Structure formats: C-alpha cells, structure tokens
Amino acid sequence: MAMELLMNELKLASAVLGALILVVALGLRIRGDTLIEWACLGATVHWLKGAGTRLRLTFRRDQYFVSWLGVNQVAASSSGPMPGRSVKPTMSMNTPTLNTPTYSRLIPGATLGVMLVLLALHHWYAVTYKSVYPVVVLLLTLIAGFAAGGTVYAPLFYAAGAYGRHLPAYMKVISGLCAACGLATGFYLLFVIYSF
C-alpha cells in the first residue's frame, strides 16, 4: 500500500504509512514477547541474570496467581508470600488451572495465502474481461484482513469467533480493525484499481 501511494506521487501519505509500519514492527520486535505473555497468558516472566537470582513473575489478575500457586507450591513456599498481594491462596491441589488454548499462525497464514491467490485470480479475470465482482472482492479482502492480523499475532484471527471468547475486549477491537483495514483495501481496489 505504501509503494502504491508512492507510485501515485502521494509521497507524504506513503512516508506516514511507512513510518507507522516501522514503528509497529520495531515495537513488536522490542516488546512483543512481553505483550504476548501479558495478553494471552496473563503473566509476564522477568528473566533476571546471575547465579542464585530468583525468577520474578507479574500476574495480570489475582486468580491467575492463585492458579499458578496451586501447581507451583514448592516455588511459593521457598519464596514466601508475595509482597503487595491481598490474596491468600489455599495450598490444596484442587486449585483450578487455566486451560488457555494454544493459537498457531498456520491457519491464519494458510487462509491469507488462499485469499491472496483468489484475489490474484479475480484480478486476472477483471483485467482480461473488464468485469469485476464487487461482493467477491470485498469478501476476500475482509477475510484477508482477519488472516493478516492473525499471521502477525495469532489470537487476532480467533478473537471474533467461539475460540476467542475468553480473550480481552481490546483484542476483539484490534481484530475488528484488521478486518476494517481489509475491507478498506477492498474499496480501494474497487474504486481506484478497477475503475474501468
């Protein structure tokens, strides 16, 4: 999209979009692991160097701390009570554990690949026969937007469906924004590229 803007001599828009892409890519590169742990696992692990240094964890919710403590009793008894926590978890083995599903980038990546192939076939048909199917373009780009978000960060692909009910609301909003970006790309194709 940035290259398309640059080729249409919209240099400022291309520079802004390119800078935004770089900022997001660098942010995910630098702080991506922490964001993923915090959003999906509900905990962040702080890796501290040095012999004899204890591992430090930060939990997003008290219930996550209680569940973790139920299966890691040795670590809890060796480190003592956590400072600043009002929760007093029981040390029984019946403490519920979280069944957080594991998301893979394989399905979103494969979906994105299929959508791009179908869009390429439709593009060939539209250029050859000067005929466009707007509903097909909008549907394919909408699904491609979902899949592109899931390829970057897998839970975004599942946030809008049944497998993402436990995900936080902001994850669903980001997933919707990915779909909206895909839909906007579809309208761009219809009104700019396919304006025969």
Tens digits of residue pLDDT in 37-94: 555 556 666 666 666 666 677 776 777 777 777 777 665 544 455 544 444 444 444 4
Is the predicted pLDDT of residue 1 greater than 50, yes or no? yes
Say what angle helices 169-188 and 134-152 make with each other, to 10 degrees: 140
Confidence label for 115 from pLDDT (cuts 50, 70 and 90): very high
The whole-number pLDDT of residue 91 equals 41
The structure tokens 């192939």 sit at 117
The whole-number pLDDT of residue 122 equals 92
pTM for the predicted model, two decimal places: 0.52
Element (H, E) at 172: helix 169-188
Task: Copy the structure tokens of residue 168.
Answer: 């936080």
Is the predicted pLDDT of residue 146 greater than 70, yes or no? yes
The whole-number pLDDT of residue 73 equals 65
Is the predicted pLDDT of residue 186 greater than 50, yes or no? yes
Per-domain boundaries in the chain: 1-41, 43-100, 101-196
Is the predicted pLDDT of residue 4 greater than 70, yes or no? yes
Number of continuous H segments (helices) and E segments (strands) in the chain? 8, 2
The whole-number pLDDT of residue 85 equals 44
Say if CB 157 and CB 143 are below 8 A apart: no
Contacts by 186-192, CB closer than 8 A, 24 or more apart: 186/137, 186/138, 186/140, 186/141, 186/142, 187/138, 188/1, 189/137, 189/141, 190/132, 190/134, 190/137, 190/138
